[in-house]
């Protein structure tokens, strides 16, 4: 089969599409997929640099989500899945290939109205956003929600699902073009972090109260400002460290306003935990996608052999929405 190999830790140029050994026999509850498209995620770029190794037993190739067609079923796959079914999947790795093995518990049907290609841009964002701010932070209708990086794949999805559920959405992004895209997706308050202090703007917009939940991909450099932006019983959920892993912080606000700081990834969770998240996404998110209330926002597609170009685009951060690779 063909896959993108990380030839050594480094920049985008270390990615190479090669012929590699076929997958071993399917294990219990696994399916083999013919990949139609794979999503590119920032975590893939961190893996490429040697800082995010795949979990034990996972594919060495990058790619945390894909869409495609079921080619074969391993033992004890639930009867709802059959050879020939069109699906998308959350993966622990291996999406940058023409074939990949996925646990049946991490498969989702292609939602009505979404193309097989575009569906590759849904599993990672839907599972990340649903498992964090909804399943863990319990973001609820009528609350307010700040999304950092509103124009990212995760941001564009989070804006739409939150608006669909009756939540007031605040976003930060770094250009007027990105903010316009966020506004078009339904964001209520769009803040350019390069020219405005988001803490001040949130105070103004909420009459000094602050927001209920923040989804943060920055980490260290935003920690104090995030805490200062939360209202009473506010929840900060950290999913990335683009601004570093360390910070000195005044905890007074945490105690005074009963704040909660949460953080999690997706890739290293157990199979059972991922299956539970995927099942919740199918139940709660998929109907909104099928109804056209939440759409995958696809910025650009690249052939598999141009994975390095896709990573350059991701790292330049000029994109709005998702980047996909097509085998």
16-51 residue pLDDT tens: 999 999 988 899 999 999 999 999 999 999 999 999
Report, as ranges of residue numbers, the positions in the chain whose pLDDT lies below 70: none
Per DSSP, the three-state class of 84 is coil
299 part of a folded domain: yes
pLDDT for res 94: 98
pLDDT for res 27: 96
- Which of 263, 278, 307 corresponds to the end of one domain? 263
Whether residue 149 is found in the same domain as residue 114: no
Whether residue 7 is found in the same domain as residue 111: yes
pLDDT for res 24: 80
* Half-sphere exposure in the Cβ direction for 83 (13 Å, CA): 4
Is the whole-model pTM more than 0.95? Answer: yes
* Percent of the residues in the chain that have a pLDDT greater than 90, as a whole number: 99
Whether residue 276 is found in the same domain as residue 259: no
Whether the CB-CB separation of 297 and 156 falls below 8 Å is answered with yes
104 part of a folded domain: yes
pLDDT for res 23: 86
Whether residue 50 is found in the same domain as residue 154: no
129 part of a folded domain: no
Whichever domain contains 100, its CATH number is: 3.90.180.10
Whichever domain contains 154, its CATH number is: 3.40.50.720
Q: For residue 181, what are the β-bridge partners?
A: none
Whether residue 23 is found in the same domain as residue 97: yes
Kindly report the CA angle at 44 between 279 and 314, in degrees rounded to 5? 110
Its domain, for residue 150, covers 137-263
pLDDT for res 122: 98
Handedness of CA 303, 304, 309, 311 (dihedral sign): positive
Q: How many structural domains does the chain have? A: 2
pLDDT for res 83: 98
C-alpha span between 158 and 173 (Å, rounded) = 14
């Amino acid at each position: 089969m063909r896959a993108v190999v990380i030839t050594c830790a480094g920049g985008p140029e270390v990615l190479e599409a090669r012929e590699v050994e076929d997958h071993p026999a399917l294990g219990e509850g696994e399916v083999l997929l013919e990949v139609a498209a794979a999503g590119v995620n920032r975590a893939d770029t961190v893996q490429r640099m040697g800082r995010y190794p795949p979990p034990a037993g996972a594919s060495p190739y990058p790619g945390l989500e894909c869409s495609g067609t079921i080619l074969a079923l391993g033992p004890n796959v639930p009867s709802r899945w059959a050879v020939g079914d069109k699906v998308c999947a959350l993966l622990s790795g291996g999406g940058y290939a023409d074939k990949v093995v996925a646990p049946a518990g991490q498969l989702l049907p292609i939602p009505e109205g979404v193309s097989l290609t575009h569906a590759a841009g849904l599993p990672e964002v839907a599972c990340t956003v649903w498992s964090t701010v909804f399943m863990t932070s319990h973001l609820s209708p009528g609350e307010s929600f700040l999304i950092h990086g509103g124009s990212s794949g995760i941001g564009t999805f989070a804006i739409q699902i939150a608006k669909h559920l009756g939540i007031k959405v605040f976003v930060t992004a770094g250009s007027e073009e990105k903010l316009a895209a966020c506004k078009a997706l339904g964001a209520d308050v769009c803040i350019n972090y390069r020219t405005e202090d988001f803490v001040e703007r949130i105070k103004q917009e909420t009459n000094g109260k602050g927001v209920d939940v923040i989804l943060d991909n920055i980490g260290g450099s935003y920690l104090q400002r995030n805490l200062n932006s939360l209202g009473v019983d506010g929840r900060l959920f950290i999913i990335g460290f683009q601004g570093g892993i360390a910070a000195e912080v005044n905890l007074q606000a945490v105690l005074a306003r009963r704040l909660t700081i949460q953080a999690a990834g997706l890739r290293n969770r157990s199979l059972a935990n991922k299956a539970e998240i995927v099942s919740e996404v199918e139940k709660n998110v998929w109907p909104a996608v099928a109804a056209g209330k939440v759409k995958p926002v696809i910025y650009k597609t690249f052939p598999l052999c141009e994975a390095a170009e896709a990573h350059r685009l991701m790292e330049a951060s000029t994109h709005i929405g998702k980047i996909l690779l097509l085998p």
